[in-house]
Amino acid sequence: MKNVRLVYLLGLLTMLVLLTGCGRAVVFATQAGTSGLRQPGALSLYIDRDGSLYPIDTALHRDERQLRSGAGYLLNYYASQPTRLRQLYAGYGVSDLPAAAAADPEEGWPAFQALLRRQAAAAVNQRLDQLGAGATLVVLIHGFNNTPDEATKSFEAVEARLRAEHLPQGPYQVLRVYWDGRRGAIPFFFKIAQPNAQFVGLGLRGILSRVSHAHPVRIITHSLGTLAGCNALWNVVTSMGMTDTLAHAPHMVFWQNLTTARNGRGVPRYYYARACHDTANYQTPTHPDLRMGCIAAATPGDTYLDYLNRTPGLATTNHNGLYRRIVISYNPTDIVLNKLYVFAFLHRTLGITNLGRTNYAYNIVAERVNHLSTGGRSYQVPFYGCHEKGKFNHGLTGYANSNQMPTFLNVLLSDSPPPAIMPCPR
């Protein structure tokens, strides 16, 4: 009994420490020195908490402390160095800078980011075309509270399992998505984590929407990376409390330096909800062969209430879901999704993370994908093994190495009919 109380007390103290701050920014200053889209093997994207892609900048690693002290916002960092920002634009050959950028180079940031997204998509398509017709793009998105090295190790574990299971069938290209999910904070810190993931999803959307339709796309997400994946494919507004998609939610402002003068005051120009209507930059993918699998999904089931909310057009034509398979893992013993059990009652403060652990949340997915859209199908794959209780927990590496991972990968990646999923004997 004393041991139980001690564990409970230690857990409480740990949680209180974590709750006192929002963690540290995760920056990719060292990685930005070389292009993750030009190296052999897996391709890599590096995205800040605003959804901005890191440019190739060999000097960034010298200023990593400055970048981190600026909360990991790339625009804030470059705004303090206007000459260097102009040089960056010139080096990349940005040709559509607005006139205002001549006096204030920050104003060129949207055009610069649009160019980086186009170039990233072109690099991905070039690699897929080199692999041959029908080569598959496998997109990996890590979760919250990962350092770059931790994310890399988890990606490598998934990739090793892909090779072991000979999936996908035929040639494929891995695209690793690294993003600022904060570090040193509670893994489901609601107020910081959720907006970050949504902005990252917007940035990724601007790339996936340009992937050639000649190549199948398969997305594998982990933990809060699921929210980034969902935002890459549809407009997530309901679960964020934005019932009016034109609402200006203060916590959903990105590129915060860029404002418009109104009544003598500067007001933000870039809101998530506004971006949902931006067809030029954030059109949702219309890919005819796209699937997504979500492991230990640290999001509410309500994230799927907006499954048919696409751009352009807030209602999908003929209710065509377009995305052919949605696969959700199920593990009611995941300690992080259960908030260490002790703090489960704080779910509205710490964030609702029930999609990966409850049938109730999955039923929302099944309703939207199987019944309200056409051409798609959802699946739930249990990771609570009949003889594996306690062998792995929330980390992506543990899930990747579990006995249930082959079933998950087969449902998501195989072109054969999905295997029957047998429940554990009671």
Among 153-162, 234-243, 361-370, the range scoring the smallest mean pLDDT is: 234-243
Q: Which of 351, 332, 327, 324 is nearest to 393 (CA)?
A: 332
For 53, the 3-state DSSP assignment is strand
> Poorest-confidence range of 96-110, 205-219, 243-257, 390-404?
243-257
- β-bridge pairing 323-330 and 290-295: parallel
| DSSP element (H, E) containing 227 | helix 225-233
pLDDT at 265: 82
Please choose, from the candidates 74, 87, 71, the residue with its C-alpha nearest in 3D space to the C-alpha of residue 29: 74
Residue 96, both tokens: 């559509």
The whole-model pTM stands at 0.91
Check the CA dihedral 235-241-243-247 and report its sign.
Answer: negative
Residue 248 has pLDDT above 80, yes or no: no
Question: Which of these ranges, 10-24, 255-269, 347-361, 363-377, has the smallest mean pLDDT?
Answer: 10-24
Q: How confident is the model at residue 65 (pLDDT cuts 50, 70, 90)?
A: confident
How confident is residue 142, by pLDDT bands cut at 50, 70 and 90? Answer: very high
- Closest to 48 in 3D by CA, of 65, 63, 32: 32
The lowest-confidence range among 92-96, 152-156, 262-266 is 262-266
Could you read off the pLDDT of 381-395 as tens digits, one per residue? 998 765 555 555 788
What mean pLDDT comes out for the span 187-214? 86
**What's the start-to-end Cα distance of the chain, in Å?**
29
Percent of the chain with pLDDT over 70: 83
User: CA nearest 258: which of 75, 16, 57?
Assistant: 75
Coil, strand or helix: which one is 258? coil
Closest CA to 17 of 223, 184, 190, 191: 184
If one counts every other C-beta atom within 10 angstroms of the C-beta of residue 68, the result is: 16
| pLDDT average, residue stretch 278-299 | 94
Residue 389's pLDDT is what? 55
The residues spanned by each domain of the chain are 2-59+113-413
Query: Looking at residue 62, what is its pLDDT?
Result: 83
Q: Identify which has the larger pLDDT, 3 or 233.
A: 233
Question: Could you tell me the pLDDT band of residue 4, with boundaries at 50, 70 and 90?
Answer: very low
User: What pLDDT was estimated at residue 185?
Assistant: 58
* Three-state DSSP state, 183: strand
Report the pLDDT value the prediction gives residue 182, as an integer from 0 to 100: 83
User: How does pLDDT run across 202-237, given as a tens digit for each residue?
Assistant: 999 999 999 999 999 999 999 999 999 999 999 998
- Find the range with the poorest average confidence among 234-243, 313-322, 338-347: 338-347
Average pLDDT for 269-280? 90
Average pLDDT over residues 156-182: 96
Tell me the C-alpha distance between 410 and 151, whole Å: 23
Of 223, 217, 176, the closest CA to residue 197 belongs to 223
pLDDT band at 25 (very low <50, low <70, confident <90, very high): confident
How high does pLDDT run on average in the chain? Answer: 85
Is residue 181 scored above 70 in pLDDT?
Answer: yes
Positive or negative: CA dihedral 187, 252, 74, 200: positive
What is the spatial distance between Cα 418 and Cα 361, in angstroms, rounded to a whole number? 22
Write out the E strands in 207-303. Answer: 217-222, 259-262, 265-268, 290-295
pLDDT at 20 over 50: no
- Paired with 262 in beta bridges are 265
Buried b (16+ CB within 10 A) or exposed e, 359-379: eebbebbbbbbeeebeebbbb
Return the pLDDT at 340. 55
Confidence (pLDDT) at 154: 97
Separation CA 333–CA 310 (nearest Å): 34
Which two three-digit tokens encode residue 82? 């206007």
pLDDT score of 391: 53
